[in-house]
Amino acid sequence: MNKSELVEMIAEKTKITKKRAEDVVNLIFDIMVDAMVKGDRIEIRGLGSFVVKEYGAYTGRNPRTGESIQVSPKKLPFFKVGKELRERVDQVEHKEEKPPQT
């Protein structure tokens, strides 16, 4: 599923227009990006949390050539899946294993 499919599903499930749904979906992700840019941690109960980790400068190596290169400081976002979603993602597997009728 991509963002426009998500937008369509939201529009279908509510009474709002596709345009409005698109605005809201875009805004939700923009709000989350802004929070991460500020270094905020985001916690969505049931889904998971986003954390930005900061790395200092270090000397890395090109694994192919062995050449040393200086890696500048950087920030990377990480997502930790929440308990509810982690269990839901894994559970379907076990349900599917049981009925092989179809």
Partner 1 sequence: MTKADIIEQIYEKVGFSKKESAEIVELVFDTMKETLEKGEKIKISGFGNFVVRQKRPRIGRNPQTGEEIEISARKVMTFRPSQVLKAALNKGASEA
DSSP 3-state assignment of 80?
strand
Q: Are 78 and 48 a contacting pair, CB within 8 Å?
A: no
Q: Is 71 in the site for partner 1 (CB under 8 A)?
A: no
Q: Is 92 in the site for partner 1 (CB under 8 A)?
A: yes
For residue 82, give the amino acid letter.
G
Q: Are 82 and 47 a contacting pair, CB within 8 Å?
A: yes
Q: Is 60 in the site for partner 1 (CB under 8 A)?
A: no
Q: Is 58 in the site for partner 1 (CB under 8 A)?
A: no
With CB under 8 A as the contact rule, the residue among 43, 60, 69, 83 that binds partner 1 is: 43
**What are the C-alpha distances in Å from 6 to residues 16, 39, 65, 78, 84?**
14, 27, 43, 22, 21
With CB under 8 A as the contact rule, the residue among 28, 58, 69, 83 that binds partner 1 is: 28
| Least distance from partner 1 to the Cβ atom of residue 89, Å | 5
Where on the chain is the footprint of partner 1 (CB under 8 A)?
1-3, 6, 9-10, 13-14, 16, 20-21, 23-25, 27-29, 31-33, 35-37, 40-48, 50, 52, 72-79, 81, 84-86, 88-93
